[in-house]
């Protein structure tokens, strides 16, 4: 495993660093890569004292106050959704599973749409009203799905998936009702539902970071268990794995980080589906590799999707969820076709 981890991990980190610098340079005001490297280097300890500022103050303001917070949030959102997707696919043993399987995104969307519809965007927690309410309703939707899926003290996978589909359908209809009834704020609701990282400062990054770190540590600690679970629940139980407890912990952890990410960015689909599957094709089925590489791959994917969203039709910005859907839908169709072929063989 060590040679594989060193190879793919090194390549992934280098691609992520390169993507960060290139993304920071792109925009309505194009900035040279060398200038960006100097600005970022000047903020580092021990290195910053050796760099003489020879760039415009406006360039530093654009990087440090506008683009870098957005880039870091894109990295965290992508890593969170992708790691959650890897966990869902591992527990459900289904490559078509993703963080939205259990209706968490729909639950978060209901909370956000409700707040926007009634004009309560800053009533309870200031600018954090939508993220807090969205997170709470996403967590409640998870609780309901788990309650529906529990039979004789056990969570059956087929029942869990059906419960998620039912919850998604119901909550999706609630959101559609709020959109159809709204007049003044319909565009605001729809824009949030399509996902965006625009106008999000450092505070959003600092809120999401603890959720991602805790989730990553928990899921990586269960990586070996997920490898054994891939053999089948009965085999895993014979090898000493507490299957029901493992499923519950992994599902709750992955769902909560999904709710946290969706609450600050809106609904961004297909990240948790595409990235872990590609990582599995490239690096193999070992979750000790899939979990960390999914975090890096998800960060790169959402970073470039967000860069395209803000630069393709500049100064008009495309919703981030639209970009990820354009890229993700064809890949999802490919997976469905592949699953169909496997079913025939």
How much is the pLDDT for 335? 67
How much is the pLDDT for 306? 94
- Cα–Cα distances in Å, from 293 out to 92, 212, 284? 19, 14, 11
Q: What are phi and psi of 150, to 5 degrees?
A: -80, 125
Listed residue (77, 62, 88, 93) closest to 269, CA to CA? 77
CB of 321 within 8 A of CB of 266? yes
- Cα–Cα distances in Å, from 12 out to 150, 198, 321? 39, 26, 24
Helices (H), the chain: 2-25, 33-42, 57-61, 68-92, 104-117, 129-149, 157-181, 186-193, 202-221, 223-229, 233-238, 243-265, 271-283, 287-311, 320-344
How much is the pLDDT for 323? 92
- Cα–Cα distances in Å, from 240 out to 118, 228, 253? 51, 10, 22
How much is the pLDDT for 336? 65
Enter the DSSP assignment of 96: T
Give the homologous superfamily in CATH for domain 70-90+98-339.
Answer: ABC transporter involved in vitamin B12 uptake, BtuC (1.10.3470.10)
Low-confidence ranges of the chain (pLDDT < 70): 1-5, 335-336, 338-345
The overall longest dimension of the chain from CA atoms, in Å, is 68
Domain edges within the chain: 70-90+98-339
């Amino acid at each position: 495993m060590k040679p594989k981890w060193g190879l793919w991990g090194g390549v992934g980190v280098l691609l992520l660093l390169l993507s960060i610098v290139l993304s920071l340079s792109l925009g309505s005001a194009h900035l040279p890569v060398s200038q960006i490297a100097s600005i970022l280097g000047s903020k580092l300890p021990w290195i910053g004292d050796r760099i003489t500022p020879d760039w415009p103050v406006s360039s530093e303001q654009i990087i440090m106050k506008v683009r870098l917070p957005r880039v870091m949030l894109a990295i965290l959102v992508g890593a969170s959704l992708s790691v959650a997707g890897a966990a869902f696919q591992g527990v459900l043993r289904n490559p078509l599973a993703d963080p939205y399987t259990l209706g968490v995104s729909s639950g978060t969307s209901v909370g956000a749409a409700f707040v926007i519809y009634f004009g309560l965007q800053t009533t309870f927690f200031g600018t954090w009203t939508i993220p807090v309410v969205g997170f709470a309703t996403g967590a409640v939707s998870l609780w309901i799905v788990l309650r529906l899926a529990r039979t004789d003290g056990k969570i059956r996978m087929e029942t869990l998936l059906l419960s998620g589909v039912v919850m998604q359908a119901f909550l999706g209809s609630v959101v559609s009702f709020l959109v159809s009834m709204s007049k003044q704020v319909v565009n605001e609701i729809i824009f949030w539902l399509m996902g965006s990282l625009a106008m999000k400062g450092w505070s959003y990054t600092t809120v999401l970071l603890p959720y991602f770190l805790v989730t990553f540590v928990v899921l990586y600690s269960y990586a070996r268990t997920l490898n054994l679970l891939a053999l089948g629940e009965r085999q895993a139980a014979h090898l000493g794995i507490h299957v029901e407890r493992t499923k519950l912990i992994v599902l709750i952890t992955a769902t909560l980080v999904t709710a946290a990410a969706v609450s600050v960015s809106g609904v961004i689909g297909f990240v948790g589906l595409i990235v872990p599957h590609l990582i599995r094709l490239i690096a193999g089925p070992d979750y000790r590799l899939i979990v960390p590489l999914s975090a890096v791959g998800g960060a790169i994917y959402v970073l470039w999707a967000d860069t395209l969203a803000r630069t393709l039709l500049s100064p008009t910005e495309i919703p981030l969820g639209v970009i990820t859907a354009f890229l993700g839908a064809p890949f999802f169709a490919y997976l469905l076709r592949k699953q169909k072929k496997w079913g025939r063989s």
